[in-house]
């Protein structure tokens, strides 16, 4: 419990960058949800720019009521 799933354009992360993502996200989640580090899981999923609209933006639009932050590039019209 809580699981954070991050989708992003493909890129190669260094071990240091992965550790920084882990530490920052884990710190935010544990303090906000009042839970321990051992309850948090994080996954990274690369999505190509060509697939972004159909795989990610479509889900964002379908689940807009669950968003706590909408992307700045998104035009809901």
Cα distances from 54 to residues 14, 45, 47, 49, in angstroms, run 28, 15, 10, 10
Phi, psi torsion values for 12, nearest 5 degrees: -95, 125
Q: Annotated catalytic sites, by residue?
A: 2
């Amino acid at each position: 419990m809580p699981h954070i799933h991050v989708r992003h354009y493909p890129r190669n992360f260094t071990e240091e960058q992965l550790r920084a993502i882990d530490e920052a996200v884990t710190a935010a989640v544990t303090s906000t949800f009042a839970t321990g580090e051992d309850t948090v899981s994080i996954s990274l999923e690369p999505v190509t720019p060509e697939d972004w609209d159909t795989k990610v933006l479509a889900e964002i639009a379908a689940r807009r009521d669950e968003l706590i932050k909408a992307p700045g590039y998104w035009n809901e019209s």
